[in-house]
A and B are shown apart, each in its own frame.
Chain A
């Protein structure tokens, strides 16, 4: 049934009741009804009860005559047999009071237990609505007629009753609803808890039509006055009350609502809290779960338009207030939660922002660290570090000053990065910003920026003038010794200006951060960071970041130091290795390349080293001699063994010159041997012997050759002298002999003179040959002329004609044409004489000697061939050598001179061929034109 529809019915009911002259309160209406019924049925008293379903009781809502128990007197259905019966039967019951048992609740309705009652149940289709009791104390009974009439009437009245009750309920509900609606609206519109309380209080005052409304808030064990309506500030005597004190205190203590209507049975209000006297009041606690957060007080009901006639709050009000209090509490809770949430949200936002900042800074720090780790020199590192601190894209502080430890007492300013005063910083930062866009990674950008640090900027120049004694400066000392990051704030500077004055004077600012650069064990420097330009203070996060940075910078420095020392060690090692390699190669080259045999023995005579030359001299490979005993490997050097021992003992070298050994299957060789001790590395003792052996065989041979040549030269000199001395007498002897021959001596004399002449000639020849050899020229005279070779050959052959006959030799002379040649005819004559002579001596009796001349385009020559004795191969090599002869007589100079004449003087060649069965052939050939230089 919709609310509006119900209301319409109520209106009709009201109209009906108007007819009865009733008001619009259910009590009034019930009174009217009771009055009407009493009058109508001539009863003493009439009571109207409404049934409360929930508690299964009847409550008196109307009576005639007026009964002050109205609204309060209750009858419990379950406790009354009479009523039970009545309602079971759904019939009017006539009861005699005297017959009622004393336990029967109905009997309580009147004091005097006499008379009779008519109980009229009021029911409708859904159940019990109410009860009407007609009481007559005079009559014992009611007529049957009347009862019937009543029955009929009460059917309608029931209905009216029902409607009235419904109406009442509706109004109640309506009231509750609108009150709730109002409150809800207020609550929803309230901005903040205070407004919530304030506005709610206003509404409550209005709804409950209270004169005074107050909200007291609970704190700890007491309540504090918070909000008021309808009462002056002056009217509040106490603003704070303890739990349990007065209505308010008890409500808080008991956590339950209270109602005061003026009855003694109720909890009494104290009159020491507010000045207007409390005549009626309702209090309800504001609860958050189990906890009391406050109490609402409504006091002194105002003149009301309500259906209730009395001027005090009732339990309905109490219930309603409780309800509302709950709602308000709930909303307060919500509001509080909301505020908490807001606060929390703000806090979280702030935290998040901080966290973001921290994360951001950490990521920047990471990049700066990357940049620091990627450089390999200390200077670069310092630059990157300071750039990382000051670059906008880096940690973003304004300036960073670096001081490095110079010695145990002083720090020296080294670098200062940041804009100097007067510089257009925004311009710089914008430029830098743009620059940074070029780089993919911050670390790359930082490295690039670092390289552009101007070491001669005004700041840097100032920095390099700074030198501070760290013992004298407390702040520095702390930073260095405790390895602490120190954040100097303006208030600290103000409080202890002396302590910080050094830095303040340099930086011209009163907030800065100092942190040490700590390598593994010691502090190598300090960095001072400030925000000189922007004047931005340092947050905790800033300091935290700088602390982290300080650690990382320290590690980076340590890394560089290690790298540097590694680099220099490596360089040292490399150069040493290089040197060693060089020396080794050098040594190897020398030792192997030198023409000296180097053999190293240990103390037990074991061969430990054997170089290439040793291999050559002794014809033994390294592989066969290493680790063999010296005496076994080189038995030919057995004489050396005692020397080796001697040197081992004496520790002094010994030399052996021109030691000669006979090599197996080879000739004798000559060696210079030096036996020398091999010192160990520390030069404290001998670890072996070095044999240094030089093969001087060649030298010796040369020496001997030289000596021989010298001897020859001397011999030559002497020979020449002798020869020349002999020549004169020879020419005299021979000359006179020839003259005698010309002067026609007697035959005997002639014979002797001829012998003398020819012997002299022979001697002259010897002298010539000897001189030729000694002097190396042709002792024979003669010039170079164009002569016919054939003629010369013929001349010589003619000289030997007799000799040929003597030996029965057939000379075969083959000379064709003319062979004109530029030659020294005398010399060539001598050659031919020599050769013919030799042939004659070699040829057998009756053999052949053939002389043949030849010519080609460039050369001319002749050959002499003879049968007979041949020249054996061993002899062949030697025949041209001076002084060689197989003959018993003769100087043996002949062929060597012939060779000299042909080869040296005539630039020709002489060859010999001698074979068994084929005889001996000499071939001489020389160029037609041109002999030696003096030709």
Chain B
């Protein structure tokens, strides 16, 4: 069965890029713009992995990650962000991985693949 990935990204073009890239990898991809929407989604459906942008207008990705964990959802969380500075932030440890956005999509493809195969 295809893994379900939820993409949370406020910038449209970026969201489009990741959505299409991951869809091409064969994942069942859902994309939302806001953190709130993400949480709604997660409460309704099960996902295998969530990618979170950090700098978002309503709720920043760190909070979302925290809330997801609070929900007790057993889901992989990956921060995918332009900002490298949050890597050392304590709250980023809620996530399983931290990817700095770059034009090289292989990085993100690899990381997600690895995370999803680590299940168990």
Contact = CB atoms under 8 A, between A and B. Distances in A.
Report whether chain A binds chain B. Answer: yes
A779 B17 CA distance: 22
B79 to A, nearest CB: 11
Nearest to B84: A779
B98 A728 contact: no
Contacts of A761: 103-104
Interface string A770-788: 0100010111110000000
A735 B99 contact: no
A321 interface: no
B20 interface: yes
B103 A777 contact: no
Interface in B18-42: 20-21
B59 interface: no
Contacts of A778: 84
B88 A734 contact: no
A153 interface: no
A914 interface: no
Interface string A725-747: 10111111111111100000000
Contact of A724 (B83, B87, B98): B83
Contacts of A730: 102-103
Contact of A733 (B83, B98, B103, B105): B103
A290 B13 CA distance: 178
A732 B102 contact: no
Contact of B17 (A720, A727, A735): A735
B14 to A, nearest CB: 6
A764 interface: yes
A482 interface: no
Nearest to B99: A781
B100 A738 contact: no
A779 B83 CA distance: 9
A174 to B, nearest CB: 170
B105 A739 contact: yes
B85 interface: yes
A732 B13 contact: yes
B103 A734 contact: yes
Contacts of B98: 781
Given A735-B17, A771-B84, A781-B98, A728 B11 contact: yes
Contacts of B21: 735, 739
Interface in B69-115: 82-85, 87-88, 98-105
B17 A731 contact: yes
A48 interface: no
A734 B14 contact: no
Given A737-B103, A738-B105, A781-B100, A731 B82 contact: yes
A757 B88 contact: no
Contacts of B103: 730-731, 733-735, 737-738, 757, 760-761, 764
A934 interface: yes
Contacts of B11: 728, 732
Contacts of B20: 739
Nearest to A764: B102
B104 A727 contact: no
A731 B84 contact: no
Contacts of B85: 720, 775, 777
A241 B105 CA distance: 183
Nearest to B106: A738
Contacts of B84: 771, 775, 777-781
Main secondary structure of the interface of A (DSSP, over half): helix
Interface residues of A, number: 28
A284 B83 CA distance: 172
Given A775-B85, A777-B84, A732 B17 contact: yes
A775 B99 CA distance: 18
B88 A777 contact: yes
B101 A731 contact: yes
Contacts of B105: 735, 738-739
A905 B21 CA distance: 33
A131 B76 CA distance: 207
A739 B104 CA distance: 10
B17 A724 contact: no
Contact of A734 (B55, B99, B104): B104
B98 to A, nearest CB: 7
Nearest to B11: A728
B104 A738 contact: yes
B106 to A, nearest CB: 9
Contacts of A725: 82
Contact of B87 (A728, A735, A781): A781
B101 A727 contact: yes
A731 B11 CA distance: 12
A738 B17 CA distance: 11
Interface in B32-72: 55
A733 B101 CA distance: 12
Contact of B101 (A728, A737, A771): A728
A398 B82 CA distance: 117
A931 to B, nearest CB: 14
Contacts of A934: 88
Nearest to B83: A724
B90 to A, nearest CB: 12
B95 to A, nearest CB: 13
Contacts of A738: 103-105
A728 B104 contact: no
Nearest to A736: B17
A724 B103 CA distance: 14
Report which residue of A720, A729, A780, A781 has the largest number of chain B beta carbons within 10 angstroms of its beta carbon. Answer: A781
B83 A731 contact: no
Contacts of A771: 84
Contacts of A732: 11, 13-14, 17
Nearest to B20: A739
A768 to B, nearest CB: 8
B55 to A, nearest CB: 8
A371 B19 CA distance: 120
Report which residue of B82, B87, B105 has the largest number of chain A beta carbons within 10 angstroms of its beta carbon. Answer: B82
A51 B89 CA distance: 184
A223 to B, nearest CB: 157
A718 to B, nearest CB: 14
15 contacts: A724-B82, A727-B102, A728-B11, A731-B17, A732-B14, A734-B103, A735-B103, A738-B103, A738-B104, A757-B103, A760-B103, A761-B104, A771-B84, A775-B84, A781-B100
Closest 3 pairs (CB-CB, A-B): A734-B103, A727-B82, A731-B101
Given A733-B103, A739-B20, A934-B88, 4 more contacts: A731-B14, A732-B14, A757-B103, A781-B99
